[in-house]
């Protein structure tokens, strides 16, 4: 069936038509309506109103991402913790699978470099930058959608490459989740929910920040005694994620992993295996 993609900031919506003529007719009417709206805004908006519109766009973007991903029944099992059930917020699903480049990771060396560049780009964002150029963040979201096709079954979990890969993915997810947070800076009461529900879909499975940190990166290291925020232990029902636990361990990881807490360094390293 002929289809059309309607791109919003947070999600792409797909419409199927009975034939090409119906799609083209709808597309022409839609373009006409958009052009008239843009023309009207440009003619009536002052510079101050334009800046205010950009700010409201980003605020609306944050609110939309929160409501669209954390409510309703999702594809993945919910997070269960202390007899509470929480919906996962999967942050890299802007495009559907058939609208992505599934051949991007033909070899793992490409995947490792892709994730390094993805984190570098994530760390370049600030709220001020995104208010001025929100389209750059939309491009970033499209790139994160590619992580769904990362071939985890080919990764050597005893290698430095795997260690760097997952630490970089963890920090990329952390940065994106912090930018989209509508509740402001993290605090003792909010960090648990944040770490347990902020997720990426990677290679056909889904990982929260807590699961990446506790089950994968630190999966085969000794558990902390009486852990306290900002360190958040993954729920017991997430233990299946220890299937991906790294055999490669390094005690220095405790100083590398950032949690978004004010006690953490302001800089985040992009790890490259040597």
Give how far Cα 130 sits from Cα of 156, 265, 268, Å.
36, 22, 19
Q: Are 196 and 232 in contact (CB under 8 A)?
A: yes
The β-bridge partners of 16 are 3
Task: Average the pLDDT over each of 192-196, 217-221, 229-233, 258-262 and give the range with the smallest value.
Answer: 229-233
pLDDT confidence of residue 160: 94
- Residue 71: pLDDT band by 50, 70, 90 thresholds? very low
Q: What proportion of the chain, given as a percentage, has pLDDT over 70? A: 84
Which comes out higher in pLDDT, residue 221 or 217? 217
State how far the Cα of 127 lies from the Cα of 15, in Å rounded to an integer: 32
Q: Which of 78-82, 131-135, 217-221 has the lowest mean pLDDT?
A: 78-82
Summarize pLDDT for 81-97 with one digit per residue, the tens. Answer: 666 778 888 999 888 88
Question: For residue 226, what pLDDT band results from cuts at 50, 70 and 90?
Answer: low
DSSP string of the chain, one letter each residue: --EEEEE-SS-EEEEE-SSHHHHHHHHHHHHHHHHHHHHHHHHH--HHHHHHHHHHHHHHHHHHHHHHHSSS--SSPPEEETTEEE--EE-S-SS-GGGS-TTTTSSHHHHHHHHHHHHHHHHT--HHHHHH-HHHHHHHHHHHHGGGG--GGG--TTSHHHHHHHHHHHHHHHHHHHHH-SS-S--TTTHHHHHHHEEEEETTEEEEHHHIIIIIITTTSPPPSS--TTS-PPPGGGGGGGGG--S---TTHHHH---S-TTS-S--------
Would you state the structure tokens that stand for residue 273, as one six-digit string? 């295996």
Pseudo-torsion of CA 178, 181, 186, 187, nearest 10°? -170
Q: What is the pLDDT of residues 162-191, one digit of tens each?
A: 999 999 999 999 999 988 876 666 777 778
| pLDDT tens digits, 96-127 | 888 888 888 888 999 999 999 999 999 998 87
Query: What angle separates helix 160-180 from helix 134-145, to the nearest 10 degrees?
Result: 140
Q: Is the pLDDT of residue 30 over 50?
A: yes
């Amino acid at each position: 069936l002929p289809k059309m993609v309607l791109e919003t900031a947070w999600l792409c919506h797909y419409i199927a038509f009975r034939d090409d003529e119906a799609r083209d007719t709808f597309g022409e009417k839609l373009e006409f309506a958009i052009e008239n709206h843009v023309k009207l805004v440009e003619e009536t908006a002052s510079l101050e109103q334009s800046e205010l519109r950009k700010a409201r766009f980003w605020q609306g973007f944050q609110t939309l991402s929160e409501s669209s991903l954390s409510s309703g029944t999702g594809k993945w099992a919910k997070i269960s913790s202390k007899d509470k059930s929480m919906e996962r917020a999967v942050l890299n699903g802007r495009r559907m699978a058939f609208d992505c480049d599934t051949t991007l990771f033909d070899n793992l060396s490409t995947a490792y470099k892709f994730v390094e560049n993805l984190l570098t780009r994530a760390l370049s964002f600030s709220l001020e930058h995104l208010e001025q150029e929100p389209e750059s963040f939309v491009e970033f979201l499209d790139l994160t959608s590619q992580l769904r096709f990362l071939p985890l079954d080919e990764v050597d979990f005893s290698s430095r490459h795997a260690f760097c890969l997952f630490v970089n993915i963890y920090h990329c997810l952390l940065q994106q989740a912090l930018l989209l947070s509508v509740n402001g800076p993290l605090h003792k009461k909010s960090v648990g929910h944040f770490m347990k529900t902020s997720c990426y879909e990677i290679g056909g499975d889904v990982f929260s920040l807590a699961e990446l940190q506790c089950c994968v990166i630190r999966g085969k290291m000794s558990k902390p005694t009486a852990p306290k925020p900002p360190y958040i232990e993954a729920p017991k029902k997430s233990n299946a994620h220890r299937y991906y636990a790294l055999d490669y361990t390094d005690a220095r990881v405790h100083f590398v992993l950032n949690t978004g807490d004010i006690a953490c360094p302001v800089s985040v390293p992009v790890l490259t295996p040597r």
